Structure 1
Amino acid sequence: MPIPVIDFSKLDGEGRAKTMAQIANGCEEWGFFQLVNHGIPLELLARVKRVSSDFYKLEREENFIKNSPSVKQLKELVDKKNEDKLENNDWEDVILLSDDNEWPTKTPGFKETMMAYREELKKLAEKLMEVMDENLGIPKGYIKKAFKGGEGDKAFFGTKVSHYPPCPHPEMVNGLRAHTDAGGIILLFQDDEVEGLEILKDGKWIDVQPIPNSIVINTGDQIEVLSNGKYKSVWHRVQAMPDRTRRSIASFYNPSYNATIEPAAQLVEKENSDVNQSGYPKFVFSDYMSIYTEQKFLPKEPRFQAVRTVY
């Protein structure tokens, strides 16, 4: 059962209505879908693949093998002939990129390439937000404005570059444990050769099939709240692989930490317009993130309840 694949280039032509409906279905029924012909230059995507691979080999691989807590703890389990699974660490090497972070400097072309890529993704995310606004029947620009915290603070845009090295005992550790994403819209440029990403659909884990040069989209917890539950954030995970390194680059278009998030008024029935009677609370995103940091791999519903008491 493959997840939906949508030709985004048809959004502005005769196929607009069909494409809008496909995106609505992807958001409502799946929480995940893939965009092809999304407008990001293929030459830029090729450079992103190259510099991210070079970066890992030049600056990260040796350190992961020697110093990663996951490597050490897995070895301890194996040495003890313990058949338990490593539950509190992931077989993942990560670097986070944002506009005000210090960036790697040893990999030629890394910063320039990733900055150009991030700019393209921001534009794609904002176009998707407008599609969601229209499909949900809320004013154009509503989601973007909500994420900015009104007209003032800028929304947060971060990029997580991940590598999942070959694992000698993939049955004993997760590449990345199952979770939903805390933020808004997530845009993933995943490995087009090495599988491993899975989503939970109708109680079953299914693969997110690798498609060259596609961008995988998923909606986070804040979109679930803003849509009053029409668009659900979805559980997903990454499996560790025994013989190949998987690369993925996830970018997150999230609310400003000062933004107040609540269901859009247009999506709350009049008789239930009191936010305390709707399915989701009103809260400041930074409060939600404080809870999420501690509960990322736990059920999401208690997070919503916990943040309700904070606001």
Structure 2
Amino acid sequence: MEILISNWSNVEFVPKKYIFPLERRPGKIEFPVCHDIPLIDLANNHPTDTIQQVIKACQEFGIFQVINHGVCENLMDDTMNIYKEFFKLPGEYKAKFYSNDINKSCRLCSSTLAYDTEEFHYWRDNFTHHCYPLEEYIMTWPNKPTKYREVVSEYSIETRKLLYKILDMICKGLALKSGYFEGEVSKTNVISVNNHIPCPNPSLTLGMPVHSDPNLITLLQQCDVPGLQILKDGKWIGVQPIPHAIVLIPGLQLKVISNDMFITPVHRVVTHAKEARTTIGVFLGPSPESLIKPATALVCTKPMFRAFTYPEFLKTFTAGAKCDAQFALNHFRNKT
């Protein structure tokens, strides 16, 4: 069978390799949408209040949405359309980018990086590439659709600005020294786009694994088709797609730097029976040389975690391809 699901046509049933065991299936897709997830207006005339809203969201939910964020709505629409076009391109063209090599700076894969060895496949294609410094990576990007490099380069610049704006607000809210999140701790910048075709039976499979983000902070542009869910109080709840709102998720590195004050939510993606779903993720993360540890200003007696490098964390996080956030955190957690 063709590996990339975006190349499939007339899908009438879920192939066996995509059917999860009973205990891992989402079951009947009737999960409630959570209306309590914070929606923060960044154009609020009271910046101190906005900063406190961001801090509270990071502590109570580990996820929030922002509006009036400064990323042009037309640019958001153009970028989403570019990616929808990309996944509709002929398989022969997309095959140029297919790779399971995690070190490749521009790659297309299906399910997860362990497609050839994993027991069950996820219902998605994923396209990921680095985008900072822009001049270093842009020539490795697709030249189709025609305006891909033009549109996506502008999008990567504008979303990076927004992420730094959020990090600056967090910096002020935690009373950290100015520029704390600049430099090596946020050097890597990756765009990761998921494409999910309609699934004949969404109750049998998943669009993405149950996971927490290992990086510093994540920005997500949803489409109008629901699918993202977070685990809250033992229940899966949907994150409502709001037109031109942007989802922010503090990653595990930010949880460590906050000395365990912040939540990094467990989340997953379910599929849709009738609609295709494309989402654009932008990930800021530390460089390999960056030393991650709780911010000194936030440690009253003893830091909750010992210092580590990002590669050390990722090695523990991905051990056995489990991407187990709690296992990784506990590995670096100081004993009480």
- 1:54 Cα deviation from its structure 2 partner: 0.9
- 1:88 Cα deviation from its structure 2 partner: 3.6
Q: What per-residue deviation string (whole Å, max 9, x for no partner) do you get for residues 173-219 of structure 1?
A: 1110110000011000111x200000111221111100011110000
Match of 2:43, SS state, is helix
Q: Determine if contact 2:40/2:50 at 8 Å carries over to the other structure.
A: yes
State the one-letter code of the partner of 2:124: E
Q: Determine if contact 1:157/1:252 at 8 Å carries over to the other structure.
A: yes
| TM-score scaled by length of structure 2 | 0.76
State which of 257, 266, 285 in structure 2 corresponds to 1:235.
266
Match of 2:167, SS state, is helix
State which of 308, 313, 321 in structure 2 corresponds to 1:283.
308
Q: Does 1:204 align with 2:235?
A: yes
Q: Does 1:165 align with 2:197?
A: yes
Residue ranges of structure 1 left out of the alignment (5+ in a row): 71-85, 149-154, 273-277
Q: What per-residue deviation string (whole Å, max 9, x for no partner) do you get for residues 18-39 of structure 1?
A: 2122111111101100011101
Aligned to 1:9: 43
State which of 147, 155, 158 in structure 2 corresponds to 1:109.
147
Match of 2:288, SS state, is coil
Match of 1:6, SS state, is strand
Q: Does 1:251 align with 2:282?
A: yes
- 1:281 Cα deviation from its structure 2 partner: 2.0
Match of 1:142, SS state, is coil
Aligned to 2:172: 134
Q: Does 1:180 align with 2:212?
A: yes
Q: What per-residue deviation string (whole Å, max 9, x for no partner) do you get for residues 37-68 of structure 1?
A: 1011111112112111111111569979xx98
State the one-letter code of the partner of 2:164: E
Aligned to 1:80: none
Q: Does 1:27 align with 2:27?
A: no
Q: 1:63 to 1:141 in 2, by over 3 A?
A: closer
Residue ranges of structure 2 left out of the alignment (5+ in a row): 1-33, 99-108, 112-117
Q: For 1:60 and 1:290, how far apart are their aligned partners in 2?
A: 33
Aligned to 2:295: 264
Q: 1:235 to 1:288 in 2, by over 3 A?
A: same
Q: CA RMSD in A?
A: 2.4
Q: For 1:298 and 1:230, how far apart are their aligned partners in 2?
A: 22
- 1:172 Cα deviation from its structure 2 partner: 1.6
State which of 298, 313, 317 in structure 2 corresponds to 1:292.
317
- 1:243 Cα deviation from its structure 2 partner: 1.5
Q: For 2:61 and 2:182, how far apart are their aligned partners in 1?
A: 22
Q: For 1:202 and 1:140, how far apart are their aligned partners in 2?
A: 35
Q: For 1:263 and 1:34, how far apart are their aligned partners in 2?
A: 25
Aligned to 2:3: none
Q: Determine if contact 1:291/1:307 at 8 Å carries over to the other structure.
A: no
Q: Determine if contact 1:194/1:210 at 8 Å carries over to the other structure.
A: yes
- 1:145 Cα deviation from its structure 2 partner: 4.0
Structure in which a larger fraction of residues adopt helix: 1
Aligned to 1:52: 83
Q: What per-residue deviation string (whole Å, max 9, x for no partner) do you get for residues 246-277 of structure 1?
A: 010000011112100000011111x32xxxxx
Aligned to 2:327: 302
Q: For 2:317 and 2:239, how far apart are their aligned partners in 1?
A: 24
- 1:226 Cα deviation from its structure 2 partner: 0.3
Match of 1:34, SS state, is strand
Q: Determine if contact 2:110/2:125 at 8 Å carries over to the other structure.
A: no
Q: For 1:199 and 1:304, how far apart are their aligned partners in 2?
A: 19
Q: Determine if contact 1:179/1:297 at 8 Å carries over to the other structure.
A: no
Q: Determine if contact 2:304/2:333 at 8 Å carries over to the other structure.
A: no
Aligned to 2:26: none
